[in-house]
Structure 1
C-alpha cells in the first residue's frame, strides 16, 4: 500500500512538472547591438517566440514605464535598465525579462580650475563630507574610532564645534537641509540626523536598497545618496527611503565608486574614490556631462598618497560662488574656480 501511494505521488509530481513546462518560453530581443544603445536613439523591440506559441497581447516596459515596440531613448535614464515584456498567451500571462544599457550620446566636457585661495586644514581629518550652510563649513570625518562631525572656520582651520561618533561608526558623507544635518555611516546601515545648531541627535534612518553609505548632497528639496557604485539614490525627505535612482554613465560606460557629492548650480558633482577627477552629473538622467581634473592639487599636499590620502571633499559656497576641495588627511583646503578647457 505504501509503495502504491508513493507511486501515485511521484506520478502526480511528474504530471505537474510536465504541465508547468508546457508554458511557452519567451525572451525580449532588441535591435541594439549587445543590447547597448545611446541616448536619443530609437530601438526596435520584438519577442523571441521559439515555440511558436499563440500571442494574445504584448506589453513592453522600460524601467517600470510602458513603452512601444519602437522605443525612443530621448527622455530616459542612463545605465542598466530593466526591459520587460508581459505576454498574454492563451490563458497564461508570462513575463519575459531582459536588460538594455543606455549610454550618453555626448562625451564629457573636460574642466580644469584656478586656485583662488589656500587655507589650512586639519591633517588628522579623514575627510568624508564637506558642506557650507549659512556661510559656515561643516565636515564629516571617517575611520573607526576617529569619526567626527565638525563645524570649522574654513579660513583658519579652527574647529568651532566637534562631536565624536560611537567607535562602531565609520562616518561618511553629510548634507544639511532645513536646519538638519544628515550624516552617513559606511557599513552600519545607519544615517544619523542632528540639529545643525546644537549637534543634538534627532534620529536615525536605514538604507533600504543600497548596502553602504558614501556621499550625500541636496538640491534644497531632495537628498541624493551615493553607495560606492555608479548609483545615486534620491531619498524621500519624509521617510528617508531610497525611492528612486540614477546611474552615472558616459558615452563609453558607467562611472563607479562615486563617493562625496555636492549639488552645484543644478548638477551633482561626484568625487570618484581613489581618483583625482570629479564627475559633473545630470541629476535627471545620470549623464556625466563633465569631468574636473584636480590632479595638480596633489603636488601641494605633503602627505599625498594615491592609495589612502586621496581627494575627497567638495563644498560649494553660494556666497562666494566658488568651490572648496580637500582630501583625506590633507593639510590644505583649496578655494577654486572651475574653468572649461
Structure 2
C-alpha cells in the first residue's frame, strides 16, 4: 500500500513538474515575442522573466556551435538584425529546458530620411533586366539578368545603344558587378560562379567559384580595398579582391527600429555603401564598418510609375554622377538623376 502511495505521489509531482516546465517555456515564448517587437542594442542586458530565473540554476544562450552564459548583447556573439538563438535552462531540480528564440539587435542611432530632387531623366533600354549598374565618367556599365537574356554591356549615358556587349550562355543568370581598375567583376544568381572581364573589351578573363558563405549572388560593389557582395540576406560580405572566393569579413545591417534583409544592388560612395531592398522602393545608406543604416531614401514616386506596368519592374540600379545619384530599375525606360539634399 505504501509503495502505491509513493508511486502516486511521484506521479503527481512529475505532472506538476511537467506543467511548471511547460509554463516556463510558454513564458519564454511570450518573452521572445516581446523581444522581437522591442529589440535590443549592443551592451544591453537580457532580463528574463522571474518565472524563469526562479527555477533556473544555470542559463546559457547557444548560437549553433557557440554558447555563452553571459546574458549581455555582446557583438562577439550577436550581430545587428535578427539573431536565431536557443535558451538553455538547467533547473534547480536537474532538468534541462530549451527554448528557441529570435533576438533583434538594432542600431543605437535613428536613420535619417534623406530628401532628394529629380534633376534630369535619361533614356534606358526597357528590355534590360538590370542587376548591376555602374557609371565611370559618362560611360554606363550594366549587368542584365534572366536566363537566355543575361549580358554585360556598356553605353554612353543618354543613349541606349551598347558600345560593347558580351552575351552570356543561356543557362547563366547574371547579377551585380563592380569595377576594379581595368577589370569588371560580375556575380551570377544561382550558377555559383563569378566572372572577371576586361573593362575595355568586356572579354572574359577568368572566373571564380562563389564563396560558400553566399547562398546566392545578388549585388556587388568595390570599396577601394575589398569587393562587397550581397546574397539576399541582411549581410554584406567583404571579399578578397585577389581571391573573390574568400570572405574577409561579414557585416550585418540594421536600422534603429527595423531589421533589413534582401539587401540587393550595391554602390560604394564617399565612405558609405548604398543598397536597395528587393521589392521595396527604398535605398539605404550604410556605414560599412558597423552595418548601421544611417540614412534612407524613399523612391516611391519614382518606382510607382514603373511597377504599374509590371510588378517585377522593381528599383534595382544605383550609381553616382559626382554627388548626384543615378537610379533605375528592372525593365525601366528611364534613368533618373537626383540631387541629394
TM over 0.5: yes
What secondary structure does 1:296 align onto? helix
What secondary structure does 2:160 align onto? coil
**Which runs of structure 2 are paired with 1:216-295 in the superposition (5 Å)?**
216-237=220-241, 238-295=243-300
**Which runs of structure 2 are paired with 1:144-163 in the superposition (5 Å)?**
144-163=147-166
Query: In the alignment, which residue of structure 2 is the partner of 1:194?
Result: 197
Tell me how far apart the structure 2 counterparts of residues 246 and 145 of structure 1 sit (CA, whole Å): 33
Aligned with residue 328 of structure 1, among 315, 327, 330: 330
What is the TM-score of this pair, normalised by structure 2? 0.73
Is this contact kept in 1: 2:82–2:259, CA < 8 A? Answer: no
What is the TM-score of this pair, normalised by structure 1? 0.73
Query: In the alignment, which residue of structure 1 is the partner of 2:15?
Result: none
1:182 has 2:191 as partner: no
Tell me how far apart the structure 1 counterparts of residues 164 and 61 of structure 2 sit (CA, whole Å): 55
Query: In the alignment, which residue of structure 2 is the partner of 1:136?
Result: 139
Query: In the alignment, which residue of structure 2 is the partner of 1:316?
Result: 320
Shift of 1:59: 11
Tell me how far apart the structure 2 counterparts of residues 63 and 287 of structure 1 sit (CA, whole Å): 24
Is this contact kept in 1: 2:64–2:85, CA < 8 A? Answer: yes
Tell me how far apart the structure 2 counterparts of residues 229 and 332 of structure 1 sit (CA, whole Å): 28
Aligned with residue 105 of structure 2, among 75, 97, 102: 102
What secondary structure does 1:333 align onto? strand
Q: Which runs of 5+ in 2 are unaligned?
A: 1-27, 88-97
* Distance of aligned partners of 1:236 and 1:99 in 2 relative to their CA distance in 1, 3 Å threshold: farther
Shift of 1:316: 1.4
Is this contact kept in 1: 2:104–2:259, CA < 8 A? Answer: no
Query: In the alignment, which residue of structure 2 is the partner of 1:166?
Result: 169
Q: May I ask how many residue pairs the two structures share in their alignment?
A: 297
Shift of 1:104: 1.5
What secondary structure does 2:45 align onto? strand
Tell me how far apart the structure 2 counterparts of residues 101 and 266 of structure 1 sit (CA, whole Å): 26
More helix by percentage = 2
Cα RMSD of the aligned pairs, angstroms, is 3.7
More strand by percentage = 1
Tell me how far apart the structure 2 counterparts of residues 207 and 108 of structure 1 sit (CA, whole Å): 31
1:206 has 2:210 as partner: yes
